[in-house]
C-alpha cells in the first residue's frame, strides 16, 4: 500500500510499504477514507523525538473495515468506522475506570496517513457510524473524533470545566481549538483563548471563546487576571506541552483551580512549590478517546459541534510532505489527507 513514512527530521515521504495484516485474532484492518497530520507528529518531524527511519507515521483515520480477525464479533467488512488513535479492549480495569488510554492491551494506529491501518482490540476500540459511508461534509468532523476533539474534550474534563465557570485555553492548535469548543458545550461562561494568529482567533471565537488574549507569559497572565476580576481562571486547558505553555497555564490559574493537560510534555518542569502554595492541581494525559466517542459522535451527528472546521487544508495523500510543511510553518491549522 501507499503510506507516509518518516526517514529523519523534515524527511517525510509517501511510498509503497507492505500492507498491514491481521496479527492477532482481535485485530481488524481498515481501509482509510481520510487521515490527517497531528500536532504531535511535528515533534519527530522537527527532530525533537527519536525517529525510526522508514517507519510509517499517522495515528488518526476513519474508514471502512476491510478484514477482521477470528475473534472480532462486533464488526465486519464494509462497516464505516471511527478509529480511536489508541486502541483498547474496553473491558479491563483501567478501561472500566475510564482510562482507556492505559488499557492492559493498549496499542496505537501507526499508518493513519496511509491506505490501510491495523486496529488492535477491534471490538473494544472501533465505533461504527450507522448507515455506512457518511456524507462527505461530515468526514472532517468524524475524522476529528479520532484524536483532536476527544483530546480537547479530555483537557476540559480533566480541568473540571463547569457550567458558568471561567476557562483559559493555552494553545491555539487544533487541540486547543477543540478545547474551546468543549468548554463551550460544557457551559463555561467565560472562555479565554490565548492566541496570536488571526485565523485561529476567528475559529476560537466561532467555537465559543468569549475573549482572546494575544499576549504571552507575564503580559498574558496579567490580561487574564483582568478579565477574571483579579481572581484567575477556574479551569485551565494546557494544549501545547512546552515548559513555557505550562508556566502560563499555572500563572493564569486561580487558587484551587485545575490545569487539564493534554500537550505531550517536552522539557516541562512542573512548579511544585507554586502548585502547593496555590493549591492548583494538574490532571490529564493521553486522552481515553474511546470513553468519549459515543457522546461526541452524537454531538457531531446532531449538528451540535463541528470540530472538522480545524481542517483548513485538504491534500491528496501523495502530498503528505507538503501537509507537514504547512503545519510546521503554521500556514495550516490541521491538514486532512485523502488516500
Q: Applying CB under 8 A, which residues contact a second copy?
A: 93-94, 97-99, 101-102, 158, 229, 231, 254-256, 258, 261, 264-265, 268-270, 272-273, 275-286, 288
The residues near 124 (Cβ < 8 Å, ≥ 6 apart) are 87, 88, 89, 90, 91, 95, 103, 105, 290
Task: Choose between 142 and 253: whose C-beta lies nearer to a second copy.
Answer: 253
Task: Choose between 133 and 231: whose C-beta lies nearer to a second copy.
Answer: 231
In the complex, what is the shortest distance from the CB of residue 131 to a second copy, in angstroms, rounded to a whole number? Answer: 34
In the complex, what is the shortest distance from the CB of residue 277 to a second copy, in angstroms, rounded to a whole number? Answer: 6
In the complex, what is the shortest distance from the CB of residue 209 to a second copy, in angstroms, rounded to a whole number? Answer: 23
Distance CA 321, CA 12 (A): 5
Task: Choose between 4 and 101: whose C-beta lies nearer to a second copy.
Answer: 101
In the complex, what is the shortest distance from the CB of residue 241 to a second copy, in angstroms, rounded to a whole number? Answer: 9
Return the C-alpha cell found at 172.
491555539
The residues near 23 (Cβ < 8 Å, ≥ 6 apart) are 118
Return the C-alpha cell found at 144.
476529528
Task: Choose between 136 and 272: whose C-beta lies nearer to a second copy.
Answer: 272
Helices (H), the chain: 42-45, 93-96, 122-125, 139-144, 148-158, 174-185, 198-206, 217-227, 243-252, 272-278, 289-301, 320-328
Cα dist from 173 to 218, 275, 276, 285, whole Å:
21, 26, 29, 17
In the complex, what is the shortest distance from the CB of residue 261 to a second copy, in angstroms, rounded to a whole number? Answer: 7
Strand partners, 6: 12, 55
In the complex, what is the shortest distance from the CB of residue 307 to a second copy, in angstroms, rounded to a whole number? Answer: 22
Distance CA 185, CA 329 (A): 30
In the complex, what is the shortest distance from the CB of residue 98 to a second copy, in angstroms, rounded to a whole number? Answer: 6
Return the C-alpha cell found at 223.
490580561
Cα dist from 222 to 143, 180, 227, 240, 275, whole Å:
37, 20, 9, 20, 19
Cα dist from 112 to 3, 117, 293, 333, whole Å:
8, 6, 18, 18
Residue 83 main-chain phi, psi, to 5 deg = -110, 105
In the complex, what is the shortest distance from the CB of residue 154 to a second copy, in angstroms, rounded to a whole number? Answer: 9
Instruction: Tally the C-alpha atoms within 13 A of residue 26's C-alpha that lie toward its C-beta.
Output: 14
Task: Choose between 97 and 219: whose C-beta lies nearer to a second copy.
Answer: 97
Task: Choose between 24 and 278: whose C-beta lies nearer to a second copy.
Answer: 278
Task: Choose between 63 and 176: whose C-beta lies nearer to a second copy.
Answer: 176
Distance CA 234, CA 189 (A): 11
Task: Choose between 170 and 313: whose C-beta lies nearer to a second copy.
Answer: 170
In the complex, what is the shortest distance from the CB of residue 304 to a second copy, in angstroms, rounded to a whole number? Answer: 27
Strand partners, 32: 63
Task: Choose between 29 and 251: whose C-beta lies nearer to a second copy.
Answer: 251
Amino acid at each position: 500500500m501507499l503510506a507516509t513514512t518518516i526517514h529523519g527530521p523534515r524527511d517525510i515521504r509517501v511510498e509503497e510499504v507492505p500492507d498491514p495484516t491481521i496479527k492477532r485474532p482481535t485485530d481488524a484492518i481498515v481501509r482509510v477514507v481520510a487521515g490527517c497530520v497531528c500536532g504531535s507528529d511535528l515533534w519527530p518531524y522537527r527532530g525533537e523525538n527519536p525517529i525510526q527511519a522508514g517507519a510509517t507515521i499517522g495515528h488518526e483515520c476513519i474508514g471502512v473495515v476491510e478484514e477482521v480477525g477470528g475473534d472480532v464479533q462486533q464488526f465486519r467488512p464494509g462497516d464505516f468506522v471511527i478509529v480511536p488513535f489508541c486502541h483498547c479492549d474496553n473491558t479491563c480495569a483501567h478501561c472500566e475506570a475510564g482510562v482507556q488510554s492505559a488499557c492492559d492491551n493498549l496499542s496505537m494506529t501507526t499508518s493513519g496517513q496511509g491506505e490501510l491501518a491495523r486496529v488492535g482490540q477491534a471490538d473494544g476500540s472501533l465505533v461504527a457510524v450507522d448507515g455506512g459511508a457518511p456524507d462527505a461534509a461530515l468526514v472532517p468532523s468524524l475524522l476529528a473524533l479520532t484524536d483532536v476533539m476527544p483530546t480537547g474534550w479530555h483537557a476540559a474534563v480533566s480541568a473540571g470545566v463547569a457550567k458558568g465557570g471561567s476557562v483559559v485555553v493555552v494553545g491555539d492548535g487544533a487541540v486547543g481549538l477543540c478545547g474551546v469548543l468543549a468548554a463551550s458545550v460544557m457551559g463555561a461562561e467565560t472562555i479565554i483563548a490565548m492566541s496570536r494568529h488571526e485565523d485561529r482567533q476567528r475559529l476560537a471565537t466561532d467555537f465559543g471563546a468569549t475573549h482572546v488574549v494575544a499576549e504571552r507569559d507575564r503580559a498574558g497572565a496579567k490580561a487574564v487576571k483582568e478579565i477574571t476580576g483579579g481572581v484567575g481562571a477556574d479551569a485551565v486547558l494546557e494544549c501545547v506541552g512546552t515548559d513555557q505553555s505550562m508556566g502560563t497555564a499555572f500563572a493564569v490559574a486561580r487558587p484551587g483551580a485545575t490545569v487539564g493537560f493534554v500537550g505531550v510534555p517536552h522539557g516541562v518542569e512542573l512548579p511544585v512549590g507554586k502548585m502547593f502554595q496555590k493549591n492548583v492541581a494538574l490532571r490529564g494525559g493521553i486522552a481515553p478517546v474511546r470513553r468519549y466517542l459515543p457522546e461526541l459522535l452524537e454531538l457531531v451527528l446532531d449538528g451540535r459541534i463541528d470540530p472538522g472546521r480545524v481542517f483548513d487544508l485538504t491534500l491528496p495523500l501523495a502530498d503528505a510532505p507538503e501537509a507537514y510543511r504547512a503545519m510546521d510553518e503554521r500556514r495550516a491549522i490541521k491538514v486532512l489527507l485523502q488516500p
